[in-house]
Chains A and B, each alone.
Chain A
Amino acid sequence: MARYSLTVNGAAHVVDVEPDTPLLYVLRNDLDLKGPRFGCGLAQCGACSVIVDGNPVRSCITPVSTVGNQEVTTLEGLGSVAEPHPLQAAFIEEQAAQCGYCMNGMIINAKVLLGSNPDPGDDDIKEALDPILCRCGSHLRVVRAIKRAAANNAATA
């Protein structure tokens, strides 16, 4: 076991875990977060996505020991039902979910996309989200939601 200080959604946390523990399990089991989700453990589906210092990261293959003092942002860090982030609001507006399980990956990666491209076209969005899997087939709604968010200047939120 080793002790790690993490900054998650703006708050400092100290956890005692094995150094090779993937960040995903620390976030879910030690910090009780439900935004990042287990889908494959292989960095193949994107359900576990989080933002680490501005970059999208697959937390299921990221050992906690490599995170250091970088800022980790999860879905919870963007907004809540009471105060949703403009991206989350746009997804709700478009009813962009069926089971909703993959939507963590969609929203987290969309957030990063809007950071570099505040007004993406359909193809930009599809290209950026191509590595994120959805089995229910909510893709079209996700594209519409991200365009709606962009139109609402979500990139600056």
Chain B
Amino acid sequence: MDNFSLTRRRLLKSGGALVVSFGFAPVTRSLAQDGGTPEERPFAAENPDLGSFTPEPGDYLDPRELDSWLAVTGDGGVTMFTGKVDITGTRTALAQIVADELDVAFDQVTMVMGETTRTVDQGRTVGSSTIPRAGQQLRQAAAAARQELLKLASKHLGDPAERLTVNEGVVGVAGDAGRRVSYGELIGGRRFDVTITATGYQRGMQVAPEVQPKHYRDYRIVGTSVPRVDIPAKLTGEFEYACDVRVPGMLHGRAVRPHTAIAEPNGVDERSVEHIPGVVRVVREGSFVGVVAETEWAAIKAARDLRVDWSTPRTRMPADRDPVDRYLAETPPVRERTRQENQGDVEAAFAGASTTLEAVYRWPFQNHGMMLPSCAVADVQGDRATIWTPAQGPFTTRDRVAIMMNVPRKNVDVRYVEASGTYGRLTADDAAEDAVLLSRAVGRPVRVQWMREDEQVWDPKGGQHLTRVRAAVDSGGEVSAWDYENISMPWTESQGMPQLAERQIGIEPTYYGNANGTGGAGAIYDFANINIRSKTVPWIFEEVMPLRTAALRSPGEPPRVFATESFIDELAAELRVDPVQFRLRYLRDSRIRDTLRAAADRAGWVERPSPQPTADVRILRGRGIAVNQRGGSVPAAVAEVEVNSETGKVTVSRVTMAYDCGLIINPDGVRNQLEGNIIQGVSRALLEEVQFDAGGVTSVDWISYPVLRFTEIPEVEKELINRPEMPAFGAAETPIVVVPAAIANAVFDATGVRYRTVPLTPERILAGLRTGQTSA
């Protein structure tokens, strides 16, 4: 359990009294309101910044009505409604769960996803929670519906429900092929008008727990690689992405923002865009500046040419990542989480140690880098708004827009439309708010499409992390203490906080953001004495500034696991033990042990200690391993690398991953996720670092923020471990967490140099090779 070691009173004190002077200027205001637990603030469980609010009738579909979950059409089709959104394949996987539970054919099921007026709020689509949480909720709702359908069939056919069987949505009587009735005939086009049990909220909601779902041995569709329903249309241009939404009378808008903190504009020169045909309006509200035009191209040119005289912001940007590290190291946290169980006595163990090791690991700000920059369409008419958006939390967008417009929540209708992969970025729905301001100003629907530069600069980034680890080894060569401290800023944008446009019109956050967790910090290892701390330092500025932060694919865990699994490797090297054998000494969980061994076996791991550098060759080769557990899923990866000792370039030649996520819903879907996580993990480990200076963010495009390309991709081997008797734990983001550490360990194996700073750029590699020392 996390220990929230600061009380609210103390938080207020520390948050308010902070003085910082590292050449840039985060928080000086008191922003320490605690979000409270979900139980205390049920409807704001995911949105601490929404304050206390009591839902009004019509704000939410009632999860206790079976009709909120599904509808059956006359031809027996099943429409399933979920508040979750599809990012990479869950439309298919959820439909598999539903079809299996209802005993209908897979293609009878259609999913409606993420619409605030048509779907139950099952929480934001985050944290690999769609399959484990929403999947279970839909399974139970479908099981409850099947029960109701059997009751209806029993009445219709005059046979007791126990004698009935269902095949592809047709109910028959065992031993009597003549009598049958379809779901469509029973209820098609009509409401069930049945109440089911539903308690709790969002991802924690328990739906019809008293209904017994199918036994896993009876699954016919779950566990099979059903082809994705969305893929064909995406490959032919028939699919409608969010950027393809067109509504009658729609105009095109763009917000205009600098690359640094946004202060009040001294002036906006409307004459500077007079020469562009089709410009409808230059909009200014607070410090928000935008343009609206008849055509997209006119909007782009107007946003490019509009002369805005920005006043000097009070918020100074850090000159580079080093002052941010110093700030992380020296600033009192707003929250410190400590892992409580089995702590032992770390200090005593250090006092009695025969050897101690310590190291500091550094992780940069990284971009989500969505291929399609943020976009949305808003149609504001009086006190009502309709919004088409790819947001990961349509209900969060709805609630924020309602606050922004000062209207009841039910006046805002948010409809999810899929975009490119988001990886957490669209937990902050900036473009929707831009579109609302612009649409409100012109009284017509406005489509906002951020340009690449907007997205790279204003992306709410994955935060910078600093991790300090030390360990004690006793005279018997056993690790006797593990002392781990991870420090980062909170996610300033992810928890229903006011987004960019809101901040620019004067709506201030009342909460510092979501604190860091302790996952991936080494708790899977059974050392005698363990202290794990995760510190969250304040990260609120006078004005909005581009180093804002949000959840980025397994938030916080790639940096924490990078430190943990690198340091475990350092200990193994110090003790001259094979890295796999060393881990197995301290791993107790059988699933973690099995997965680690599966990855090693599949990769053809040869037992020996690291490093094993070869002298005087141009290309150095090595292998490294890393393992973790997160939310029930267990990834283990072996990376094989080549290091060019002349250029410093690291090439990852192969990654072998074993993955256990409990019950696998769609094996090919999981394989697809493993491939994607591995490739993105290599990219983050080798290439990705948001560059900035005192003048603003300088990573503005794909040249200044490179990502992995075809000629750099590794071979990938995958080993799926299916555990059908267990719950499904998901695969969207957990596989990535082990990849950077496995690569760093492989580079150490190849070079004998320990690299503790991501990304592993050629410059850092060469610097390490030159000094021959472990590199910071």
Q: Does B232 contact A (CB under 8 A)?
A: yes
Contact B236 A136 (CB under 8 A): no
Contacting pair B370 A135 (CB below 8 A): yes
Interface residues of B in 366-389 (CB under 8 A from A): 369-373
CA distance A80 to B246 in the complex (A): 21
Q: Known contacts A34-B237, A35-B237, A42-B701; is A137 also within 8 Å of B372 by CB? A: no
Give the Cβ gap from A59 to chain B, nearest Cβ, in Å: 12
Sample 15 A-B pairs with CB under 8 A, ordered by A number: A17-B297, A18-B297, A45-B371, A47-B371, A75-B237, A88-B236, A92-B227, A95-B231, A95-B672, A104-B237, A126-B710, A129-B710, A137-B679, A137-B680, A137-B683
Chain B residues near A138 (CB-CB < 8 A): 672, 675-676
Contact B371 A134 (CB under 8 A): yes
* Interface presence of B277 (CB below 8 A): yes
Q: Is the CB of B88 within 8 A of A95?
A: no
Q: Are B297 and A140 in contact (CB under 8 A)?
A: no
Complex Cα distance, B418 from A39, in Å, reads 15
User: Across chains A and B, which 7 residue pairs bring their CB atoms closest together, nearest first?
Assistant: A35-B237, A137-B679, A100-B234, A137-B676, A101-B420, A40-B452, A99-B421
CB-CB contacts below 8 Å: A65-121 with B: 74-76, 78-81, 84, 88, 91-92, 95-104, 107
- Taking a contact as CB atoms closer than 8 A, the residue among B235, B296, B678, B708 that contacts A97 in the complex is B235
With A126-B710, A130-B709, A135-B370 as given contacts, are A95 and B236 in contact (CB-CB < 8 Å)? no
Q: Is B716 an interface residue (CB 8 A)?
A: yes
Residue contact A100 to B235, C-beta cutoff 8 Å: yes
A135 and B421 in contact (CB under 8 A), knowing A38-B449, A41-B451, A129-B710? Answer: yes
Q: Chain B's nearest CB lies how many Å from the CB of A93?
A: 9
Contacts of B320 in A (CB 8 A): none
Interface size on B (CB < 8 Å)? 60
Give the residues in chain B near A102, CB-CB below 8 Å.
Answer: 371, 420
CB <8 Å contact, B702 and A99: no
Interface centre among B233, B679, B680 (most CB of A within 10 A): B679
Whole-angstrom CA separation of A131 from B296 in the bound complex = 26
Interface pair A139/B713, CB less than 8 Å apart:
yes
Count residues of A near B (Cβ-Cβ below 8 Å): 63
Residues of chain B whose beta carbon lies under 8 Å from any beta carbon of chain A = 87-89, 227-228, 230-241, 243-244, 246, 277-278, 295-298, 300, 369-373, 418-421, 423, 449, 451-452, 668, 672-673, 675-680, 683, 701-703, 707-711, 713, 716
The reply on A21 being an interface residue by CB < 8 A is yes
Asked whether, in the complex, the Cβ of B236 is within 8 Å of the Cβ of A84, the reply is yes
Instruction: Find out whether the CB atom of A18 lies under 8 angstroms from the CB atom of B231.
Output: no
**At the interface, yes or no: A147 with Cβ under 8 Å from chain B?**
no
Q: Which residue of A lies closest to B87 (CB)?
A: A99
Question: Within 8 Å CB of B238, what residues of A?
Answer: 34, 76, 80-81
| Contact present for B295 and A29 (CB under 8 Å) | yes
What mask results when residues 37 to 74 of chain A are scored 1 for a CB within 8 Å of chain B, else 0? 11111101101000000000000000000000000001
- The minimal Cβ–Cβ distance linking A27 to chain B, given in whole angstroms, is 10
Q: How far is the CA of A43 from the CA of B387 in the complex (A)?
A: 30
Dominant secondary structure of chain B at its interface with chain A:
loop
Q: Are the C-beta atoms of A127 and B711 separated by less than 8 Å?
A: yes
Residues in chain B near residue A1, CB distance under 8 A: 277
Q: Identify which of B233, B244, B680 contacts A81 (C-beta below 8 A).
A: B233
A42 to B452, CA, bound (A): 8
Distance between A64 CB and nearest chain B CB, rounded to angstroms = 9
Instruction: Write out the residue numbers on chain A whose beta carbons fall within 8 Å of the beta carbon of B244.
Output: 28, 34
Question: Is the beta-carbon distance between A42 and B677 smaller than 8 angstroms?
Answer: no
> 10 more A-B contacts (CB under 8 A) besides A41-B300, A75-B236?
A39-B373, A42-B701, A80-B236, A88-B235, A88-B236, A92-B232, A98-B673, A100-B231, A101-B419, A126-B710
With both beta carbons as reference points, the residue of chain A lying nearest to B676 in the complex is identified as A137
Are A126 and B702 in touch, CB under 8 angstroms?
Answer: no
Contacts of B703 in A (CB 8 A): 44
Assembly CA distance A62 to B680 (angstroms): 30
Beta-carbon contact of A39 and B371 below 8 Å: yes
Determine the chain B residues whose CB is within 8 A of the CB of A135 once the complex forms: 369-371, 420-421, 423, 680, 707
A132–B237 touching, CB < 8 Å: no
CB distance from A29 to the nearest CB of B (A): 6
Q: Is the CB of A25 within 8 A of B371?
A: no
C-alpha spacing A36/B236, complex, angstroms: 10
Pair B701/A40 contact, Cβ less than 8 Å = yes
Once the chains are docked, how many angstroms separate the CA of A42 from the CA of B673?
29
Chain A residues near B236 (CB-CB < 8 A): 35, 75-76, 78-81, 84, 88
User: B679 and A139: CB pair below 8 A?
Assistant: yes
B676 touches A136 (CB 8 A): yes
Residue among B240, B672, B708 with the highest chain A CB neighbour number at 10 A: B672
B88 with A136: CB separation less than 8 A: yes
Contact A95 B711 (CB under 8 A): no
Given that A18-B297, A92-B227, A98-B672 are known contacts, is A130 also in contact with B711, CB under 8 Å in the complex? yes
Looking across the interface, which residue of chain B has its beta carbon closest to that of A9? B237
Q: Measured between alpha carbons, how far is A142 from B180 in the docked complex, in Å?
A: 46
Inter-chain contact B88/A44, CB cutoff 8 Å: no
Which residues of B lie under 8 Å from residue A107 when comparing CB positions? 235
Of chain B, the residue at the smallest CB distance from A143 is: B710
CA gap between A138 and B449 in the complex, in Å: 25
Smallest CB gap from A20: residue in B:
B297
Q: A42-B701, A42-B702, A137-B675 are in contact. Are A22 and B297 (CB under 8 A)?
A: yes
Whole-angstrom CA separation of A143 from B592 in the bound complex:
32
A55 → B minimal CB distance (Å): 19
Q: Which residues of B lie under 8 Å from residue A84 when comparing CB positions?
A: 232, 235-236
Partner among B370, B373, B702, B713 whose Cβ is within 8 Å of the Cβ of A44 = B702
Residue in B closest to A64 when the chains form the complex, CB atoms: B297
The interface centre, meaning the residue of B88, B240, B277 with most chain A CB atoms within 10 A of its CB, is B88
Given A95-B228, A95-B231, A136-B88, verify A37-B295 contact (CB < 8 Å): no
Instruction: Report B74 CB to chain A, min CB distance, Å.
Output: 25
On whether the beta carbons of A91 and B235 are closer than 8 Å, the reply is yes
Q: CA A157 – CA B656 in complex, angstroms?
A: 37
Which residues of chain A are near B711, meaning CB under 8 Å? 126-127, 130
Roughly how many angstroms separate A107 CA and B231 CA in the complex, as a whole number?
Answer: 13
Q: B535 to chain A: closest CB distance in Å? A: 31
Which residue among A92, A139, A142 has the maximum number of chain B CB atoms within 10 Å of its CB?
A139
Hey, which chain B residues are within 8 Å of A100, CB to CB?
230-231, 234-235, 239
